[in-house]
């Protein structure tokens, strides 16, 4: 079977974020086979040997847990521990964290642990509040600072789309914290008023035995072109009319967003270069 990047696309996954993930992978790696996978396929096993990377897009992660069940999550964990790559965007990142704290004190509250437990700490969100499902509340453009990507003499700072996204807070009592590398942190002053300060992680890379996990609380796979498409097809704004972050025009500088995406996909790129 041809080696492929598998994108999870079962219950709970947003079709829009699924399409954005597939498009972004194909844009970064033209010619690489990208296909959708299901909870049933992951539970059944046999996909691992031909899988270059497993990508889990945004949506709602509770159905991911329910459909994959213990069998599926064990299969994913084993895949990574044995050298596989896992990429999680938004809900895919919550799903891969040890703990979730989402919208505490609201009707959407989720305070739970997660069985994959790749990130040794808590994925806490929404970083933009208040958040409501199926609305523009909690959707905005946020500033991040990317470590290791220089713009001039400083780390690259850009804006990315967030929709119920999270910050990653490590558990300092967990011995695995030394395996976590912060690729990007939040740098927006509006977030600071919500208790999200500089150097709080927005994107993390985690070494899990022989494999690698990259988790993003924001959506680097979503371009302004795609946001504009969503707005035209929905007939209503995807972003709030009054964007609290005042950076909507910055996302048109898609080159920086693409740099961030390529940076996140470094491990996949290295693996592909070994194959070819």
**For position 127, which CATH number holds?**
3.40.50.880
Q: Transcribe 118-164 into DSSP letters.
A: -EEEEEEE-SSSS--TTSSTTEEEEEEEEEEEEETTEEEEEEEEEES
251 is written with which tokens?
């996302």
Our count of domains for the chain comes to 1
pTM comes to 0.92
Indicate the pLDDT class of residue 274, thresholds 50, 70 and 90: confident
**Among residues 263, 248, 156, 247, which one has the least CA distance to residue 204?**
263
123 is written with which tokens?
């994925």
Residue 234: the pLDDT is 63
Indicate the pLDDT class of residue 210, thresholds 50, 70 and 90: very high
Q: Is 88 helix (H, G, I), strand (E, B) or coil?
A: strand
What's the CA dihedral at 142, 148, 149, 154 to 10 degrees? 80
CA 194, 198, 204, 209 torsion: positive or negative? negative
CA distance 106 to 126: 11
Domain assignment of residue 96, given as a range: 4-275
CA distance 11 to 276: 34
In the predicted model, what is the mean pLDDT of residues 33-62?
97
CA distance 17 to 9: 10
**Among residues 28, 11, 15, 78, which one has the least CA distance to residue 263?**
28
pLDDT in tens, 149-174: 655 545 788 888 899 999 999 999 99
Indicate the pLDDT class of residue 245, thresholds 50, 70 and 90: very low
Residue 248: the pLDDT is 47
Q: Are strands 139-151 and 154-163 parallel, antiparallel or unpaired?
A: antiparallel
The CA distances from residue 153 to 156, 202, 254, in Å, are: 9, 22, 20
What's the CA dihedral at 173, 174, 175, 179 to 10 degrees? -120
pLDDT in tens, 108-128: 999 999 999 999 999 999 988
Residue 136: the pLDDT is 73
**Among residues 266, 184, 193, which one has the least CA distance to residue 217?**
184
């Amino acid at each position: 079977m041809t080696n492929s990047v598998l994108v999870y696309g079962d219950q709970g996954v947003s079709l829009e974020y699924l399409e954005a993930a597939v498009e972004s992978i194909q844009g970064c790696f033209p010619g690489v086979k990208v296909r959708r996978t299901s909870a049933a396929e992951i539970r059944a096993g046999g996909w691992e040997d031909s899988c270059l990377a497993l990508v889990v897009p945004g949506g709602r992660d509770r159905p991911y847990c329910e459909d994959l069940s213990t069998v599926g999550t064990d299969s994913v964990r084993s895949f990574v521990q044995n050298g596989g790559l896992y990429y999680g965007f938004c809900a895919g990142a919550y799903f891969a964290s040890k703990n979730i704290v989402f919208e505490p004190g609201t009707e959407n509250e989720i305070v739970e642990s997660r069985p994959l437990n790749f990130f040794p700490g808590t994925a806490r969100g929404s970083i933009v509040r208040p958040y409501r499902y199926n609305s523009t509340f909690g959707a905005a453009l946020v500033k991040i600072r990317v470590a290791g990507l220089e713009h001039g003499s400083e780390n690259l700072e850009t804006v990315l789309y967030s929709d119920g996204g999270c910050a990653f807070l490590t558990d300092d009592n967990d011995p695995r914290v030394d395996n976590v590398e912060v690729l990007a942190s939040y740098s927006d002053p509006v977030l600071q008023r919500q208790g999200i300060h500089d150097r709080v992680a927005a994107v993390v890379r985690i070494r899990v035995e022989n494999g690698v996990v990259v988790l993003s609380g924001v959506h680097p796979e979503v371009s302004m072109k795609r946001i504009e498409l969503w707005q035209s097809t929905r007939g209503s704004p995807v972003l709030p009319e009054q964007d609290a972050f005042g950076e909507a025009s910055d996302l048109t500088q898609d080159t920086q967003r693409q740099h961030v995406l390529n940076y996140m996909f470094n491990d996949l790129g290295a693996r592909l270069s070994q194959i070819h």
